[in-house]
Chains A and B, each alone.
Chain A
Amino acid sequence: QSVLTQPPSTSGTPGQKVTMSCSGSSSNIGTNYVCWYQQFPGTAPKLLIYRNNERPSGVPDRFSGSKSGTSASLAISGLRSEDEADYYCATWDDSLNGPVFGGGTELTVL
């Protein structure tokens, strides 16, 4: 059982915009920045979003993040087949004094 809650799966068609959620509590998302990671099968995760909505260099602006209260969202616009991957949210938890991850959302591009 992950500290952060993500829907296990979502899907979209090429060109569409998809949004996935990440729900936490006052001790984690409510008081700390949220990051998002993209992971393809058999490979290491890659940082996609940090500080709720900042993109590392090289990450397309089709990817955007937002946060409100104890929830966060990742949006992918202009969906492409190569976006098919697992997406994880993460943040710091003040009660646990450590990082926590969501269970991950598997994105399928139909």
Chain B
Amino acid sequence: EVQLVESGGGLVQPGGSLRLSCAASGFRFNSYWMNWVRQAPGKGLEWVAYIKRDGTETNYVDSVKGRFRISRDNARNSLYLQMNSLRAEDTAVYYCATENGLARFDSWGQGILVTVSS
């Protein structure tokens, strides 16, 4: 059974940093692109970042470029999102998701809440 479990969320002040982790199990982790998708309270889904199978290529939504960094450790079946210079508008539930074809997110974690507030 595919499992994705996010951790590392919480309350952080504006300008602060947070590192999210996603532990994967039940599938061949290194065979999939991985993504972070977020959802602000009461809002829709927004793709944040992707990383290809071997980690050699990444991309980000414009609003987080230069502040967020996605990475993966295929030996540990883990995905990460380092978030720096956090802003109030980064407040959201963050989901990790497998991508099995462009924009085809087959499996999702349960989500982790990140709140940026003073």
Residues of A that sit less than 8 Å from B by CB: 2, 32-35, 37, 39, 44-47, 50-51, 56, 86, 88, 90-92, 97-104
Contact = CB atoms under 8 A, between A and B. Distances in A.
Contacts of B110: 44
Given A91-B103, A92-B102, 13 more contacts: A2-B44, A32-B102, A32-B103, A35-B104, A35-B105, A37-B45, A37-B105, A44-B111, A97-B59, A99-B35, A100-B47, A101-B46, A102-B44
Contacts of B35: 99
B106 interface: yes
Interface residues of B, number: 22
B14 interface: no
Interface of A is mostly: strand
A42 B99 CA distance: 22
Contacts, number: 67
Contacts of B32: none
A24 to B, nearest CB: 11
Contact of A44 (B50, B61, B108): B108
B104 A50 contact: yes
